[in-house]
């Protein structure tokens, strides 16, 4: 089985830092990262401010917002919805995702993200981002049949 562990170069589109428009809950963001970080807040002005930020700036802003009370319970479903928006609103990216066929998608990293990814130095991680990407791919491939 093919394993894709590096969301860079030809697979950069798999990264949440990949810049492409994503409209979510009435706002258009420049990346799925910005859309995700904005959802940490329930304050419409914070969400709007984050919508105009580049991915790395949006991540920094996400650390500063007043975190919504239910964030830990909803963050995975929020990410799933944002990723669905990213790939359905950008059909060229859905084509690229589908072209990964049955490859195992692993968000390999070296910054100790063991929830969304798999830290290559620590040797473990839940790889939630990779799991969600594979779920969206499977849902899309199921619709094609």
Give the number of domains in the chain: 1
Sequence length of the chain is: 145
- 25 vs 23: CA distance, rounded Å: 7
- Whichever domain contains 140, its CATH number is 1.10.357.40
2-45 residue pLDDT tens: 999 999 999 999 999 999 999 999 999 999 999 999 999 999 99
Domain that holds residue 42: 3-144
Q: In terms of DSSP H, where are the helices of 13-102?
A: 32-38, 44-51, 55-64, 71-89, 91-98
The CB-side HSE value for 3 (13 A sphere, CA atoms) comes to 6
- 12 vs 15: CA distance, rounded Å: 6
Higher pLDDT, 10 or 145: 10
Q: Enter the pTM of the model.
A: 0.95
């Amino acid at each position: 089985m093919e394993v894709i562990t590096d969301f860079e170069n030809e697979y950069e589109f798999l990264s949440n830092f990949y810049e492409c428009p994503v409209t979510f809950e009435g706002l258009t963001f420049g990346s799925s990262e910005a859309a995700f970080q904005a959802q940490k807040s329930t304050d419409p002005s914070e969400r709007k401010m984050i919508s105009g930020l580049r991915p790395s700036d949006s991540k920094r802003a996400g650390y500063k917002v007043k975190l919504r009370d239910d964030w830990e319970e909803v963050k995975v479903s929020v990410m799933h919805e944002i990723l669905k928006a990213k790939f359905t609103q950008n059909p060229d990216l859905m084509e690229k995702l589908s072209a990964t066929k049955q490859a195992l998608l692993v968000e390999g990293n070296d910054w100790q993200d063991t929830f969304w990814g798999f830290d290559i130095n620590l040797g473990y991680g839940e790889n939630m981002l990779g799991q969600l990407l594979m779920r969206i791919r499977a849902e899309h491939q199921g619709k094609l049949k």
